[in-house]
Amino acid sequence: MKKILFSTLAITTLAFTSCSNDDDGVIVDPGPDPVNIETPVTYSFERDGESTVSFSGQTTRILMGEELIATMLDFDTASEQLLLDMYANENTPFSSEDLNASDKNVRGKVAASQDYFSNNSAASATIKQFFADLISAQIDEVFPGESTVAEAGVPGQIADGGSTRYINSKGLEYNQAVTKGLIGALMVDQALNNYLGTAVLDAGTNIADNDNDIVAEGKPYTNMEHKWDEAYGYAYGTAADLTNPNPTIGDDDSFLNKYIGRVEGDSDFAGTAAAIFDAYKLGRAAIVAKNYEVRDEQAAILRQLISEVVGIRAVYYLQQGKNGIESNDLGGAFHDLSEGFGFIYSLQFTRNPETNAPYFSAVEVQGFIDQLTEGNGFWDVTPATLDEMSSTIANRFSFTVSQAEAVN
């Protein structure tokens, strides 16, 4: 079993003025004497008998993303305009009236974190357009080849066991690239580089307001509490039990939640899901306790572990793709490499807590993408290239290729 290493202890003992030590994790007031911050049992916090937890915007964006990626394979009804409208939530594109009525959208939060993109609007615009281009290409390139057998340089369908995959001329499934790319560009970037950052948590009068229990206008929560909750929502926003999501981890969405579950399912990384959930709970309890040192320690743990989820799955899919190529199962190989493509793209949104920078820069990520897509793309890529990329990624993190390639 892989040891999960932290730069700080996951459970920190410090003095505070309120804690959670009851069975349901609700914050209670222990009195004036200093006590330890305990990790709550569940993600449940109240003020004056009312829940202070809110992340409905994150739930909404996850649901919008789900309908977008499902519709990308709807050959009967999908159009370029419909898909782009789903991406931007324009012209009531969704099957749900609630989603259509929402003022939220996916596109606006792609590459939009305070820490990474507030001073880099050009990069943000480029990334937003990258996803729009993938969506458009699905209609322009892949849909016309629905009944065509794909080959090098020719988009169409390719068999993958009992499934049919639809690929572009280089073997890439655009729907997989969008799905896995949004894990980084939306969920990871917003959680790690926006809502868990001090620029957002401590913005304006947030510290003073939180210290004095001054809630946001018309709300039961302080602004700081809400920002932490929004980071939580990108991992668990559609969980069956929003206060205790790990019993169904991996089954609740197609994005970050799914792949926390997949990593947890690998015995080399057992304990990852619990460590992530505990850090979210303890960080939120620390905010209620007004202990920002503990809060920031938990943010650092989340940055490390969630970033590792992205790195582990990038290596996993590169290795699965290599295995498929070696066994001449090109449909399976191209499907895995398409997922790997999206996770590699997501690497630029990770956050190394020791450097406060991505584990891989945008330039490095583009180098990987170029290697995967040069010439005829997946049709030409070699096992040696995939091994080299896998080693480069694993070496930047604290796991090995052999740990990440385990089947699950």
The whole-number pLDDT of residue 10 equals 37
pLDDT per position as a tens digit, 225-250: 999 999 999 999 999 999 999 999 99
Structure tokens given for 400? 């090995």
Question: How far apart (Å, rounded) are the C-alpha atoms in residues 173 and 335?
Answer: 7
Contact 224, 206 (CB under 8 A): yes
Question: How far apart (Å, rounded) are the C-alpha atoms in residues 302 and 124?
Answer: 23
Contact 311, 317 (CB under 8 A): no
pLDDT per position as a tens digit, 149-168: 999 999 999 999 999 999 99
The whole-number pLDDT of residue 408 equals 62
The whole-number pLDDT of residue 20 equals 37
CA 229 to each of CA 74, 102, 398: distance values in angstroms, whole numbers, following the listed order: 34, 19, 28
Phi, psi of 33 (to 5 degrees): -75, 140
pLDDT at 12 exceeding the cut of 70: no
The whole-number pLDDT of residue 36 equals 80
Contact 67, 86 (CB under 8 A): yes
Question: How far apart (Å, rounded) are the C-alpha atoms in residues 144 and 379?
Answer: 20
pLDDT per position as a tens digit, 198-220: 999 999 999 999 999 999 999 99
Average pLDDT over residues 332-354: 98
Structure tokens given for 268? 């080399």
Question: How far apart (Å, rounded) are the C-alpha atoms in residues 174 and 339?
Answer: 9
pLDDT per position as a tens digit, 102-139: 999 999 999 999 999 999 999 999 999 999 999 999 99
Phi and psi based region of residue 199 (left: phi greater than 0; alpha: psi -120 to 50; beta: remaining) = alpha
Give domain limits for the chain: 49-405
Average pLDDT over residues 389-399: 97
